[in-house]
Amino acid sequence: MRVAELLVPPDEVLLVYVHVIDHPEGRVLVDTGLTELHPAVADIDPRLVPLTEWDVDLAGIDIVINTHLHFDHCGGNHLLAGKPIYVQRRELDDARSLDDHTIREWVEAPALQSVPLDGESELLPAVRPVPTPGHTAGSQVVVVETGGRAFVIGGDMAAWSKQLVAA
Ligand SMILES: [Zn+2]
């Protein structure tokens, strides 16, 4: 679900997505996009899809998984206070300590229930966060197995279409 657009100079548009996994044991939201503006990112002129137009009711989300904690992937975490928010420990540590990693107050809001992961795990049957250091040192993807196939949900694995062209 596309939830925002960012204008990246000189003239590129970066689309921001979140993903919902409807699992029999709980509804999972992978990344929380961007839900409000912040002066730190005003220069890229975020255009937000209003929450009322999101195709998911956040009150019905049971579990959050952040692929990483850049501001456009955790900007709605504050709306999910009290829900477990799974993120790799390295990513959480970096977001809390490195300058310019994210908008720190969006990660450190006291009501957030961040749950650090150490490597691969199976949060629900057939739903597995897997570390994929690269875009950030603590990035992870979510592997979902359903219907005999595996789907991989990533965040900023290839932000630009030109990154998908085989080298
Ligand atoms: Zn990112």
Model pLDDT, residue 120: 98
* Cβ burial, residue 126 (10 Å; 0-12/13-18/19+): middle
Distance 70 CA to ligand 1 centre (A): 5
Model pLDDT, residue 59: 94
Distance 150 CA to ligand 1 centre (A): 23
Q: Write down the pTM of the prediction.
A: 0.93
Model pLDDT, residue 110: 83
Contact (CB, 8 A) for 45 and 78: no
Model pLDDT, residue 8: 86
Model pLDDT, residue 103: 95
Domain boundaries of the chain, sorted by first residue = 2-118
Mark the residues whose beta carbon lies below 5 A from ion ligand 1: 70, 156
Distance 23 CA to ligand 1 centre (A): 26
Model pLDDT, residue 9: 84
Model pLDDT, residue 54: 94
Q: Which residues of the chain have pLDDT under 70?
A: 159-161, 163-167
Report DSSP state, residue 50: P
Among candidate residues 70, 53, 89, the one with its CA nearest the CA of residue 14: 70
Plot region of 126 (φ>0 → left; ψ -120 to 50 → alpha; else → beta): left
Distance 68 CA to ligand 1 centre (A): 7
Structure tokens at 134: 């690269």
CA 4 centroid distance within chain: 13
Distance 156 CA to ligand 1 centre (A): 5
Residue with tokens 């650090």: 116
Does the domain at 2-118 match CATH 3.60.15.10? Answer given as yes
